[in-house]
Amino acid sequence: MHAGAARWLPFVFAAGLLFAATVEGQTLGMPALTTGDCATTSTGSVQCTKTRGVGFAPSATTDTTNAANIVSGRLRGTQMPASSNGTILYRSYAYTSTSYANDYTTVGTAPAIDAVGHLQFNSTAGSVTGQQAVVSSVVTNSENWAMKATFVLGTVGSSGSPAGGYGLVLGAKSVNPNAPQGMLLNYSTSAGALSISTFSGTGQGSSPLASVALPTPSVGDTVTLVFARRGATMYGIAQNGGAVTTVQWTDPLRGTSGNSILPNTSQFAVLDFGGTYTMTNLAITENSASNPNLCILGDSKTDGVGAFTMSSRWASMIDQYGPVDVFAGGGDMTAQVLAAFPVLVQKGCSTVVLASPFYNDLGWGTATATWQANYSSVVSQAKAAGMKVIHMLSIPTSNGQVNATAANAWVSQTYGPSGAGDTVVDPSVNFNASTMLIGDGIHPNYLGYAVVAADFVAQSGLTAAAGPVTYTVPSPLALYGQP
């Protein structure tokens, strides 16, 4: 090629603009385009606004690095940035009226949005029903989650405050109408306490399960609250300047100290029990292993009620297939499993075990067609996401309240070798209901859980690793860099 010849650079796409140039600075007028996707301008450049006749979505032209432009759908965990805070289920630092409406449902008066997009809570002092902002896009029955929010205090309590006083609350609000086992963390500036309680749905459902004293706050303080679940333990953390206050409560799982009341399938909520507060950010994470080998869905018999400790339940005795993530809640039914399933897709589970999530449907009289449709929808979604599905039939009981014979038969016939060809595990093979249940005749004791685990190992067809493969869940303190 001689010196005067034009050496062409390739066409370059940048911000919807198409142009050509030569290294000698020559320009070339582009011919008019006829596809309708692009058009020439008076300067000879070409502006493209469509792809195959379809206009660019706002999220492609406003700011493609800003996920707030995406107002529908869900990003998979693999599309999220790497984070030491676990799988991000939700995160926001500012709102518009549209994004707020997309993200939340409210109880009572909706919080206002200030000039920089922060939420302003303002509830009558002493009102425990107050304002609720419920994150509607996240439903989970995970047992390892954390929510973190930062507030600027516009009001603080005093000894003369009305009954109920002033208080900020982070909560896990149950979506199960038959077993509303929610939990909340109450930062009360009136009582001067940080406490963990049950969540009735509208407010604090009982006396605190655990409570500690708070340093005296002042108007204008910036307070960060963390509310987290790690297995059978609930944690609360409050940081105000250099002062860090922690509280925790461990569920007895039907041990000697009381009944199990751990949260079941829930949505996350921010509540104002009285006073004025500005929320500047909110993050919700799921902190069990990402891309686990096994995800187990079920009810209280999977959650471990009757086992006394989480390590004594059947789902924890099969760690040779791990990492194993458990998604279960007391009283949960197929509707709750279906609602929470998107989080499992986001987690990237390889194999899903459906541990008779229909048992409570039978007990509470859900129509057969309804629970079967819910169950089938979970199976379809799992397989569409590339997951293997294992079905576990109901663990035998002795209290006579639920007869699962027909339900077990439907699962076996629909999804077993003569149906869809999936693996079906029958935990009744070596189970003795007269010796392997606790006093309620429903939940296994330690021996019963061990037998269920052994039956699963014998029938699942899974290949165990050389040794237990576990995942250590980060502590709530470590998750957020607290001292």
Walk me through the domains of the chain, giving residue ranges and CATH numbers: 12-56 (no CATH), 86-287 (2.60.120.200), 294-459 (3.40.50.1110)
User: By mean pLDDT, which of 11-20, 27-36, 98-107, 450-459 is the weakest?
Assistant: 11-20
Q: Tell me, what's the pLDDT at 82? A: 36
- pLDDT tens digits for range 393-432: 999 999 888 999 999 999 999 999 999 999 999 999 999 9
Identity of residue 131:
Q
**Alpha carbon 31 to its chain's center:** 53
Distance CA 134, CA 328 (A): 21
Judged on CB neighbours under 10 Å (0-12, 13-18, 19+), 27 is exposed
Distance CA 131, CA 203 (A): 10
For residue 126, pLDDT beyond 50: yes
Of the candidates 16, 13, 11, the residue with the CA atom closest to the CA atom of residue 50 = 16
pTM, full prediction: 0.80
Distance CA 45, CA 66 (A): 28
Q: Tell me, what's the pLDDT at 158? A: 62
Instruction: Determine what percent of the chain is predicted with pLDDT higher than 70.
Output: 81
In order of 31, 146, 391, 433, the CA distances from 310 in angstroms are 70, 19, 22, 21
- pLDDT tens digits for range 355-390: 999 999 999 999 999 999 999 999 999 999 999 999
pLDDT, mean of residues 315-329: 93
**Between 59 and 399, where is the model more confident?**
399
- pLDDT tens digits for range 208-262: 999 999 998 999 999 999 999 999 999 999 999 889 999 999 999 988 777 888 8
Confidence band of 207 (pLDDT split at 50, 70, 90): confident
| 180 φ/ψ angles, rounded to the nearest 5 degrees | -75, 70
CB-based contacts of 239: which residues, under 8 Å, 6+ apart?
Answer: 223, 224, 245, 482
Q: Tell me, what's the pLDDT at 337? A: 97
